[in-house]
Amino acid sequence: MVSTTHTEALPLEDKSLAHMLYGLMACFPIVLLPAVLSLCINLNQRPNTLSSMLASHLRWQRWSIISMLLVMAVGYLSNQPWLSATLYVAASVWFSGRIFKGWLSLIEGRCI
């Protein structure tokens, strides 16, 4: 008789790349260079060789960094200092939330 409650262990996937990229993204308040480096590494990954969970995190990271850089560029091009400062703070808070949410989902092993 075959037991239906037996579950086979799923192979563990290597999440170290995603953890490293979230770590680089978290360094953005110091300088933007780690976030840009994270984006470059992210763009060089082959999506067909990654699991769906890891691919969803890389996509989440990619759009987070691109969106933050676009909002900060608009803030840089703005002639009003109050508008620039508001856009910088808003982009930083939003980006921090995205890092926090994505990293927690990665630790829990969920797609984002």
pLDDT digits (tens, 9 = 90+) for 47-67: 777 788 889 999 999 999 999
Q: What is the mean pLDDT of the chain?
A: 85
Whether residue 2 lies inside any domain: the answer is no
Full-model pTM: 0.79
Are the C-beta atoms of residues 99 and 19 closer than 8 Å to each other? no
Whether residue 23 lies inside any domain: the answer is yes
Task: Please tell me the predicted confidence (pLDDT) of residue 101.
Answer: 95
- Rounded-to-integer distance, Cα 58 and Cα 39, Å: 9
Whether residue 25 lies inside any domain: the answer is yes
Whether residue 31 lies inside any domain: the answer is yes
- Rounded-to-integer distance, Cα 2 and Cα 12, Å: 25
Whether residue 48 lies inside any domain: the answer is yes
Whether residue 42 lies inside any domain: the answer is yes
Identify the DSSP state of 48: G
Number of domains in the chain: 1
Write out the residue range of the structural domain in which residue 42 sits: 16-108
Instruction: Select from 76, 41, 48 the least CA-distant residue to 62.
Output: 41
